[in-house]
Structure 1
Amino acid sequence: MISFSCRLSRSRFVLEADFAYPGGCTALFGPSGSGKTTIARLIAGIERPDRGRIVVADHVVVDTEAGLWEPAHRRRVGLVFQDGQLLPHLTVRQNLAYGRYFAPRGTGRVVFDEVVDLLGIGHLLAARPLTLSGGERQRVAIGRALLAAPRILVMDEPLASLDAERKHEILPFIERLRDDLGLPIVYVSHAVEEVARLATQVVRLAGGRVVAKGTPVEVFASQVADEAPDRPETVSFLSGRVIREMPEFAISVIAHPAGEIVIPALMGRARGTVRVAVQGANVTLATERPSHLSVRTVLEGRIASVTAGAGPAGVVTVDLEGGDRLAAHVTRHAISDLGLVAGKQVFALVKAVAIDEHGLGRFDGRTASKEQE
């Protein structure tokens, strides 16, 4: 359980935000300067709010009305930063042992070998940080934080300094923390693909305020209405279960109530329920069910809204069978010609190669059930 309600005023920035979630991975999402890192620092005890209350794992760490402010070293918040901040003169084993030094007595010691196995760093124990790749350093930093027996893990843009290959290397390990350990995570990021893959809930920030909160599907569906109609960056998230692998064609097939979704082959990288990211510019709409097409993904739904600006394109949001919402960028001429209005039945066509493979992520059944209600 994490509950946050704080105000912090600076000369050129004011943070005033509140949210509460029972567990899982809570993503703080938004552009630079929106307040994500400030919230992380307040949770960790690096900064003090002007007023507010913070509860971490059912333990009150800040309550300004009651005059309570627990110092950082007593909060048991595991911090992971962009660069890992490992001690360069120590080996990996010694860096991990340094984390154990901060584990409070009587809390139950985290088993060293289990953490090493979880993060796949056993072969690195004798190495020094300067010889490690960026992804390896981040895994060691996570291990050090875990061995301090934290109540919660706060990860501040932990993948921001890594290239795409290193990001894909470390994402599965963060998923394991979320799913296997059940450790609450606050994950700071401005990367949609990371949030789509990891988050069970999202707090979207702008200018120090919460502008949306809920599941990734709910938050990014609400973002559609905020996007300028002529911008192609709108992303939708669909969730379903992998039902077929077709390695001979390098594709996987996901079952969705609106129709089957064909994606680039997962090659065993995700099991069970997955979330798929789809760019609005890569969605085509038809008013009748098409046939004899090369496009394999055809999803049925009804138009929820049509938003058009002064430019040539507009955004058509479609409520799909099963509850997910899909955004499509459509020319204003097509909107008029096809009579695209709220309530009209349509069929959304998405090419497999147009689906953002990096936005694929596994999430647990409890999250899946909640999102599909």
Structure 2
Amino acid sequence: MPDNIRARFHIAFPSERGQSFCLDVDAMLPGSGIIAIFGHSGSGKTTLLRCIAGLQKIDRGRLIVNGETWQDEKNFLPTHKRQLGYVFQEASLFPHLCGRDNLEYALKRSGGHCQPKMVQRVIALMGIEPVLDRYPDQMSGGERQRVAIARALLIRPRLLLMDEPLASLDMARKQEILPYLERLRAEFAIPILYVSHSMYEVARLADYLLVLDKGRVAAQGAVSDVLSQLNLPLGFGEEAGVVLTGKVLERDSRWHLVRIGFSGGELWLPDNSDLGKEALRVRILARDVSLALEARDDTSVLNRLPVEVCEIGAGSNEATALVRLKCGDSYIIASLTRKSLARLRIEPGMKVWAQIKSAAIVQ
């Protein structure tokens, strides 16, 4: 059975105040992991999710989920028959039911196919045992959202849809819930379509990235590949940067630093006791990368990597440019002023040194 999701939708919405919108998407997505759907407001992210859920019925659509046809020219599987879970921006728990009874509702929807071990596994995964006897108005925003995610999982979905699930939370609550979403990705082999306009969430969680711009696919692919592209029409502005995967090689307890290895070399970054020996992600923002023609030791920058200039593209304004750099088997991006480019005579094919501040690396 094919392990992928084929989604093809075309729908034009009537003009409102002289503006019209058309969703025209044809994408082949992986059948597992977190697939982030990213784009600015009005790009069609939620509309695409509603089409996949069957909440937006259109004539010109085709959806195949891991070998099972949910919609084509002749068939349309209604939402209640699609084996999916849906998590909205707001937790949408039943206010008159406590956390445990909200989960019971999901168990009934699963037709009794969810075993007690599975229930306990989900409760432990989302860390919600202490709040099961509370009502939604007695929970924090993060707790409500974790219960909502658990409820969606207990339906035993073949596909989990998440529409900006952290958008209504403050930064502290977001930081609280992100580790649970990482565990969810690691422990459940189901595809998760995760709509977001937060590049931080995308970089931390996503395995695959679909970028929408004005209802159309602007880019798609592995998150590391897409984020290193310079020619995306919407750009990422000050959030332009890449995601690297590496593992802990050494801890320096004296200076509270950790050394990680990745396919392009090694990096030092501030130690975090939560970092283990397994694969971890590091996000490097383009604005925190500078270039030098030679390796220098008389600098405060700890991370200096030999790289090759691959491409030079437009920056976030007329004064800046983005430079794509090959580093081993990986890519990083630097944001430089055009004056610096001219002064150093940076051109594609040149071998230079990338300098990255350890404090600037976002875990």
TM-score, with structure 2 as normaliser: 0.91
Mapping of residues 70-81 of structure 1, within 5 Å:
70-81=77-88
The whole-number CA distance in structure 2 between the counterparts of 1:95 and 1:106 is: 17
* Matching residue within 103, 107, 122 for 1:115: 122
CA distance in 1 between partners of 2:44 and 2:105 (Å)? 30
Deviating more after overlay: 26-35 vs 54-63: 54-63
1:28 partner amino acid: I
Alignment of 1:328 onto 2:334: yes
Deviation string, structure 1 residues 212-257 (Cα, Å, up to 9, x no partner): 00011111112x2347999544222222222123344232221124
Structure 1 residue 58 corresponds to structure 2 residue 67: yes
1:237 to 235, 243, 247: 243
Going from structure 1 to structure 2, the CA distance change for 1:61 and 1:231 (only over 3 Å counts) comes to closer
After TM superposition, give the deviation of residue 79 of structure 1 in Å: 0.5
Alignment of 1:130-145 (within 5 A): 130-145=137-152
Q: Secondary structure at the match of 1:27?
A: strand
What does residue 37 of structure 2 align with? 28
Verify: 1:160 aligned to 2:167, yes or no: yes
- Which has the larger displacement, 274-283 or 336-345? 274-283
State the Cα distance separating 1:82 from its structure 2 match: 0.9
Equivalent-residue separation in structure 2 for 1:355 and 1:91 (angstroms): 41
Q: Secondary structure at the match of 1:101?
A: helix
Whole-Å Cα distance in 2 between the matches of residues 32 and 265 of structure 1? 36
Residue 315 of structure 1 and its aligned partner are, at CA, apart by 1.9
**Residue type of the alignment partner of 2:127:** G
- The separation in 1 between residues aligned to 2:277 and 2:85, in whole angstroms, is 28
Correspondence list, 1:1-373, <5 A: 1-11=4-14, 12-20=20-28, 21-63=30-72, 65=73, 67-104=74-111, 111-222=118-229, 224-226=230-232, 231-269=237-275, 271-307=277-313, 311-322=318-329, 324-356=330-362, 360=363
What's the offset of the Cα at 1:311?
3.3
Task: Quote the Cα distance in structure 1 between the aligned partners of 2:233 and 2:324.
Answer: 12
Cα separation, 1, equivalents of 2:344 and 2:235: 18
CA distance in 1, matches of 2:121, 2:142: 19
Tell me which amino acid in the other structure corresponds to 1:2: I
Aligned to 2:17: none
User: Does structure 1 conserve the Cα–Cα contact (< 8 Å) formed by 2:213 and 2:234?
Assistant: no
Give distance in 2, aligned partners of 1:318 and 1:170: 33
Alignment partner of 1:239: what SS? strand
Counterpart-to-counterpart distance in 2, 1:313 and 1:295 = 22
Shift of 1:159: 0.5
Separation in 2, partners of 1:76, 1:107:
13
Query: Which residue type is aligned with residue 90 of structure 2?
Result: D
Q: What code does the residue aligned with 2:67 have?
A: D
| TM-score, scaled relative to structure 1 | 0.89
Q: Deviations 1:258-292 (Å, cap 9, x if unpaired)?
A: 33212222212454222222221211101111113
Structure-2 separation of matches of 1:176 and 1:28: 20
Question: Residues 169 and 143 (structure 1 numbering): CA distance in 2 closer, same or farther, change over 3 Å?
Answer: same
How many residue pairs align between the two structures?
A: 353
Q: Deviations 1:178-206 (Å, cap 9, x if unpaired)?
A: 11121211110111111111111110100
| Runs of 4+ with >6 A deviation | 107-110, 227-230
Per-residue deviation, 1:308: 5.5
RMSD across aligned C-alpha pairs, in angstroms? 2.1
1:166 Cα deviation (Å)?
A: 1.1
Aligned 8 A contact 1:229 1:315 in 2? no
Instruction: Return the alpha-carbon distance in structure 2 between the equivalents of residues 130 and 349 of structure 1.
Output: 49
CA contact (8 A) 2:219 2:232 kept: no
Q: Is the 8 A contact 1:28 1:186 kept in 2?
A: yes
* Contact 2:203–2:223, Cα closer than 8 Å, also in 1: yes
SS at match of 2:47: helix
C-alpha distance in 1 between matches for 2:118 and 2:338: 60
Segments of structure 1 that go 5 or more residues without pairing to the other structure are: 361-373
Contact 1:230 1:311 in 2 (8 A): no
Spell out, residue by residue over 1:160-191, the C-alpha distance to the aligned partner (whole angstroms, 9 max, x if none): 11111111111111112211121211110111
Whole-Å Cα distance in 1 between the matches of residues 207 and 235 of structure 2? 28
Contact 2:248 2:275 in 1 (8 A): no
Cα separation, partners in 2 of 1:163 and 1:295, compared to 1, 3 Å: same
- Aligned in 2, Cα 1:308/1:48: closer, same or farther, shift over 3 Å? closer
Cα pair 2:218 2:232 within 8 Å, conserved: no
Q: CA 1:345/1:228 → structure 2, altered by over 3 Å: closer, same or farther?
A: farther
Deviation at 1:135, TM superposition (A): 0.9
Aligned CA distance change for structure 1 residues 104 and 76 (closer, same or farther; 3 Å):
farther
- Distance in 2 between the 1:319 and 1:88 partners? 53
